[in-house]
Amino acid sequence: MRQSQKLKPQGRVSLIDVAATGERFEHRGRGAISNQTGRFEPETRDPFDDGWGTIEDNAERLETTLTREVAKTIITYNRSPDISFDRTINPYRGCEHGCVYCFARPTHSYQGLSAGLDFESRLFFKPDGPALLRRELSRPSYVVRPIALGMNTDAYQPVERRLKLTRTFLEILAEHNHPVTLLTKSALIQRDIDLIAPLAENGLARVGVSLTTLDPKLARRMEPRAAAPYKRLETIRALSDAGIPVIVMTAPIIPALNEPEMETMLETAAAHGASSAGYVLLRLPYELKDIMHEWLAEHYPDRAARIINLLRDMRGGKDYDANWFERGSGRGTHARLIAQRFQKAARRLGLDAPRPRLRTDLFRPPVSPGGQMRLDL
C-alpha cells in the first residue's frame, strides 16, 4: 500500500500534474473513483500495482450498508450569514446518489470514514428523529422559523422509499403548521406532494430542485444514482402543477463542464414551471478537492487542467476559499461573468422574483406527553 500522489494545493496545473493522480478502481454506478482515507486518520492507504497485474481487474460490486444512528437532537442550527436558513433536519448521513461534487462528502470523516466511496455506500439513518422532532418543537423556548429538510445530504435517498423517514418528518411539520423548505434532485419527492401542496397553499412550504446538467451522459458520470435530468424536469412540472413554488438550483456550476449549459438549464426549468432560480459555484473543501481532481483526470483528461485552473482563478489561486459570501460565487473576472450571465438569463425568464416568505404565525406546537398546551396559543 502507498499514498497516492495528489495535485499541488495551489498554483497552475498542467496536464502532467492531472495525469499523476495515482492508480484507481472504478465502481459501476458510483461517483467517486477512490476511497481515500479521511483527514483525521493517522495512516493513509491506497491501492497500487504490485506487479501481479491485479490492479486492472474489475473491482468487486460495492454494496450499500445502512447503520442506525442514535441522535440526541434532530434540529441542527447554523449561524452562517450567507445561508438562507438557520436550521435544518438531515434524516440521513451519506448519500447514495453518488454526486462526485457533493460538498457534504468531507463530513463522513467525522465518522472515521472516507469522503470517497464510503460516503455514497455507508449510510446512516436516524429512526428516533421523528420523536426527537416532536420533543424539540414542544419546548416552551422554541422559536419557529422555517426548517430546511435535507440540506446536507438529500432527504430523498433511494432507501427513503422503504424507511419513509422524510415523509414522517413532513407529516409532523404539516400536523403543526410548521414552515418547511426542501432541496432535492430525486423524483421521489413527488410521492409527498399530498403533504407539501397543502402546506404551500397556506404559505408554509417551497421546494428547490437541483438541476446540474441536461446531458444524460454527463449526469450518469457525475451523479450516477440521482434522477436523470428528464425526471427532474418532470418533477419540477409536477410540483409546480400542484401549486408548490419551485426554485431551480443550477448547482454546482463547474467551469468548462456544465457551465455552458447554464442558460439552457434555466430556460428549460422555466418552461417546466420553475418560479425562481439560484446557483452555486463548485466548492471543494477538504478531501473533496482530491476526489474531484481524480474524477476529472479519469473522465475528462482533455479539460481537467483547464477546469481546475479556472476554479483556482476564482478562489484566489487556491482550491477552496471558505469566506462567507464568496464561497458560493467566487471572485475575479470569470466569476463575475458567470454571475452576470445567470442574472441576465434569470431576469429574462422571470426567475429573479423574490422567493416567497414562509409564514410562522400558523404554528401550533405539539403537546408533550403529560404536559399542557401553551398559554400563548
6 vs 193 pLDDT, higher one: 193
Where is average pLDDT lowest: 54-63, 289-298, 306-315?
Answer: 54-63
Which triple of cell numbers denotes residue 62? 460495492
Average pLDDT over residues 258-283: 98
Give the pLDDT confidence score for residue 372 in this predicted structure. Answer: 55
Residue 6 pLDDT exceeds 50: no
Task: Check residue 2 and give its pLDDT.
Answer: 36
For residues 142 and 48, which has the higher predicted lDDT (pLDDT)?
142
Residue 82: predicted pLDDT: 87
Say yes or no to pLDDT of 79 above 80: yes
With contact defined as beta carbons under 8 Å apart, do 257 and 308 qualify? Answer: no
pLDDT at 5: 40
Per-residue pLDDT band at 53 (split at 50, 70, 90): low
**Pairing outcome for strands 246-253 and 76-77:** unpaired
Q: Residue 354 — very low, low, confident or very high, per pLDDT cuts 50/70/90? A: confident
Read off the pTM. Answer: 0.89
Average pLDDT over residues 199-224: 98
Residue 254: the pLDDT is 98
Model confidence at 268, in pLDDT bands (50, 70, 90)?
very high
Tell me what the mean pLDDT of segment 112-137 comes to: 97
- Averaged pLDDT for residues 183-211: 98
Across the chain, mean pLDDT equals 90
Report pLDDT for 21: 43
pLDDT for the residue numbered 3 = 38
Burial 178-207 (b: 16+ CB within 10 A, else e): bbbbbbbbbbbbbbbbebbeebbeebbbbb
Every domain of the chain and the residues it spans: 15-53+62-349
Task: Provide the H-helix boundaries in 144-215.
Answer: 160-163, 165-175, 193-201
Residues 139, 199, 361, 178, Cα dihedral to 10°: 10
Of 39-53, 230-244, 286-300, 341-355, the least confident: 39-53
pLDDT exceeding 70 applies to what percent of the chain? 86
The pLDDT value recorded for residue 52 is: 62
CB 184 within 8 A of CB 61: no
Q: What is the pLDDT at residue 355?
A: 85
219: helix, strand or coil? helix
Which pLDDT value is given to residue 25? 53
Tell me: pLDDT of 16 over 50: no
Element spanning 87, H or E: strand 87-89
pLDDT band at 19 (very low <50, low <70, confident <90, very high): very low
C-alpha cell at 103: 460538498
Give the class (CATH, top level) of 15-53+62-349: alpha beta
User: What's residue 356's pLDDT?
Assistant: 80
Look at strands 122-125 and 205-210 and give their pairing: unpaired
Mean pLDDT of 129-142: 97
Burial label, 115 (beta-carbon count in 10 A; 0-12, 13-18, 19+): buried
Q: What percent of the chain has pLDDT over 90?
A: 79
DSSP 367: P
- pLDDT value of residue 289: 97
pLDDT beyond 80 at 371: no
Terminal CA-to-CA distance of the chain, rounded, Å? 64
Which of the four pLDDT bands, split at 50, 70 and 90, describes residue 56?
low
Task: Indicate the pLDDT class of residue 284, thresholds 50, 70 and 90.
Answer: very high
Question: Mean pLDDT throughout 107-118?
Answer: 95
pLDDT band at 367 (very low <50, low <70, confident <90, very high): confident
Contact 211, 250 (CB under 8 A): yes
